[in-house]
């Protein structure tokens, strides 16, 4: 055995000398190999392990680049390659495409196109804005224009503060939605500015101030959602560089847009023609933006993605990939309504804002059933509406997998409901009885699938075998983060109170 082991490296060296040199380099270093008189082939790798450059280091310390064995060795193609590398370095993250997620290029392509259309639209709207401020009107005064500018600026600041306070926590879980809404706000502001010269003095003030407020909402929504998307795109701890390169892309596209927009502004002055042109540009702008956010494939679970994923799993037993879920996502219009196995809307699931909210503090006469799961509790309201409210609260120490599990448990509960009946004794037996299905959502269940869920039916038992969780990991879902809570996160603790405590 010893002799065989000793011969194995030599056999490797005979079959593949480069591998042997590479192995020796890792063990002994470059200087040792150079001291032996070897020529060393050096490979530069990015963080994904892909070769970016190759060199030959000769014993006399010459560094010779290794060029690809094709026509690119000619001077013309070398120059083109160097020029292309310069463009890539200026506008794309270092290590592209390996340093970013697979959906980065598609999103940035559509994002650049929408920025192009937005730049031209902004030029047309700005001309109308200047007219609204009184430029070219002998009856208008500089004081009126100044006061209107101050009012617009004040409205913008107030709108920024209010929107950030009300929607700041909602943007990251629904980053795609708010990225699209940002441009809807912006385009609405463009049209208000376009028509502002045709309103009276007071109408002009209202149109311009509301337009500036909408533009402020666009700034907050676009900035926050872009930050969330950038975190998703960056793979090599290159978030700052990715944002810097995106700014370069937008600047370059904006310059082209300014050139084209200047030509259009000079040639199109008729109001009717401007309106038609604006409508076309706005639709193109929104369509590019929609295609951009549609191309994004998030791997973290929010309420909508978790609902799509688990409903499909309940129906077919198939765990969808992030790309498959992304194709079914609604960008703007979606509500957390859960359906039963007959396709009927039977429940509305929410993360509770507080214990008072979960227990129906504003509806004191409503009966509420509580179902305890691992690190979470479901509050099911006995409600007369067709959609039974189910509120979720997490306990102190809950991790993202517990939040995901609580949402899945609420969805399964809704799946088993009958429309108009709500939480019945049969459901209570399933989820709170001796063979409670709460055990199905214990993330740390035994590996062999045995334990508390062993006596359940075949349909129930499939959840105990961790096939859902293992399938999600295998399909690329990130279970270390969750995006269900769109308000300040609340965690529970509880202990018994004696008379002395009171």
Report pLDDT digits (tens) over 264-318.
Answer: 888 887 778 888 888 899 999 999 999 999 999 999 999 999 999 999 998 888 8
Name the nearest CA neighbour of 166 among 486, 489, 491.
Answer: 486
pLDDT for 456 equals: 37
Nearest-angstrom CA–CA distance, 276 and 296: 31
Per-residue pLDDT of 159-175, as tens digits, reads 999 999 888 888 888 99
pLDDT for 314 equals: 87
Q: Any idea which of 57-61, 71-75, 130-134 has the lowest mean pLDDT? A: 71-75
Band of residue 398 on the pLDDT scale cut at 50, 70, 90: confident
Nearest-angstrom CA–CA distance, 297 and 107: 10
Beta strands 376-381 and 388-395 are antiparallel
Per-residue pLDDT of 170-216, as tens digits, reads 888 899 999 999 999 999 998 888 887 777 778 888 888 898 899 99
Higher-scoring residue by pLDDT: 13, 130: 130
Per-residue pLDDT of 468-483, as tens digits, reads 888 899 998 988 888 8
Q: Any idea which of 155-164, 372-381, 419-428 has the lowest mean pLDDT? A: 419-428
**Would you say 296 and 326 are in contact if contact means Cβ atoms under 8 Å apart?**
yes
pLDDT for 1 equals: 38
| Contacts with 103 (C-beta within 8 Å, 6 or more apart), sequence order | 233, 295, 296, 297
**Would you say 390 and 349 are in contact if contact means Cβ atoms under 8 Å apart?**
yes
Both tokens of 120, joined, read 């031209």
Task: Print the SS3 string covering 46-101.
Answer: CCCCCEEEEEEECCCCCEEECCCCCHHHCHHHHHHHHHHHHHHHHHCCCCCCCCEC
| Contacts with 488 (C-beta within 8 Å, 6 or more apart), sequence order | 169, 353
Residue whose entry in the numeric block shows the structure tokens 């310059």 = 255
Q: Is residue 441 scored above 60 in pLDDT? A: no
Q: Is residue 45 scored above 70 in pLDDT? A: yes
Give the pLDDT mean for 390-399. Answer: 89
Give the pLDDT mean for 343-356. Answer: 88
pLDDT for 47 equals: 64
Nearest-angstrom CA–CA distance, 406 and 354: 16
Band of residue 46 on the pLDDT scale cut at 50, 70, 90: low
Per-residue pLDDT of 320-344, as tens digits, reads 999 999 999 999 888 888 888 888 8
């Amino acid at each position: 055995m010893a002799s065989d082991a000793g011969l194995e490296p030599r056999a490797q060296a005979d079959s593949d000398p480069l591998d042997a040199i590479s192995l020796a380099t890792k063990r002994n270093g470059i200087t040792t190999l150079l001291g032996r008189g070897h020529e060393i082939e050096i490979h530069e790798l990015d963080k994904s392990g892909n070769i970016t450059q190759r060199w030959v280091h000769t014993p006399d310390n010459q560094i010779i680049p290794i060029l690809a064995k094709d026509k690119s060795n000619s001077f013309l193609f070398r120059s083109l390659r160097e020029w292309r590398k310069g463009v890539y370095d200026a506008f794309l993250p270092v290590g592209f495409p390996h340093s970013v997620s697979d959906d980065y290029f598609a999103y940035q392509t559509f994002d650049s196109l929408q920025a192009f259309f937005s730049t031209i639209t902004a030029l047309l709207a700005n001309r109308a804005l200047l007219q609204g401020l009184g430029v070219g009107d002998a009856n208008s005064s500089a004081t009126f224009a100044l006061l209107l500018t101050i009012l617009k600026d004040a409205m913008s600041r107030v709108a920024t503060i209010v929107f950030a306070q009300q929607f700041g926590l909602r943007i990251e879980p629904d980053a795609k939605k708010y990225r699209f809404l940002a441009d809807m706000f912006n385009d609405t502001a463009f049209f208000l500015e376009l028509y502002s010269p045709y309103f009276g003095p007071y109408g002009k003030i209202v149109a311009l101030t509301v337009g500036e407020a909408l533009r402020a909402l666009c700034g907050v929504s676009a900035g926050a959602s872009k930050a969330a998307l950038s975190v998703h795109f960056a793979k090599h701890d290159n978030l700052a560089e990715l944002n810097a390169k995106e700014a370069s892309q937008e600047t370059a596209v904006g310059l082209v847009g300014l050139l084209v927009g200047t030509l259009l502004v000079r040639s199109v002055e008729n109001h009717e023609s401007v309106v038609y042109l604006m409508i076309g540009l706005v639709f193109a702008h929104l369509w590019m933006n929609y295609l951009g956010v549609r191309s994004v494939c998030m791997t973290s679970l929010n309420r909508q993605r978790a609902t799509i994923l688990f409903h499909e799993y309940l129906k077919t037993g198939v765990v969808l990939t992030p790309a498959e879920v992304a194709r079914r996502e609604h960008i703007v219009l979606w509500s957390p309504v859960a359906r039963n196995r007959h396709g009927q809307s039977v429940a509305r699931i929410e993360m509770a804002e507080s214990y008072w909210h979960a227990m129906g503090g504003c509806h004191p006469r409503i009966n509420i059933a509580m179902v305890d799961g691992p690190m979470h509790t479901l509050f099911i309201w006995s409600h007369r509406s067709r959609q039974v409210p189910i509120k979720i609260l997490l306990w102190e120490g809950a991790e993202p997998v517990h939040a995901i599990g609580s949402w899945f448990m609420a969805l399964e509960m809704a799946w088993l409901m009958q429309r108009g009946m709500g939480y019945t004794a049969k459901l209570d037996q399933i989820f709170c009885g001796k063979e409670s299905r709460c055990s199905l959502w214990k993330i740390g269940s035994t590996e062999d699938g045995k334990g508390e869920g062993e006596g359940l039916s075949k349909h129930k038992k499939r959840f105990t075998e961790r096939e859902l969780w293992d399938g999600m990991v295998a399909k690329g879902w990130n279970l270390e983060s969750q995006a269900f809570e769109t308000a300040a996160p609340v965690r529970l603790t509880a202990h018994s109170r004696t008379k002395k405590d009171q």
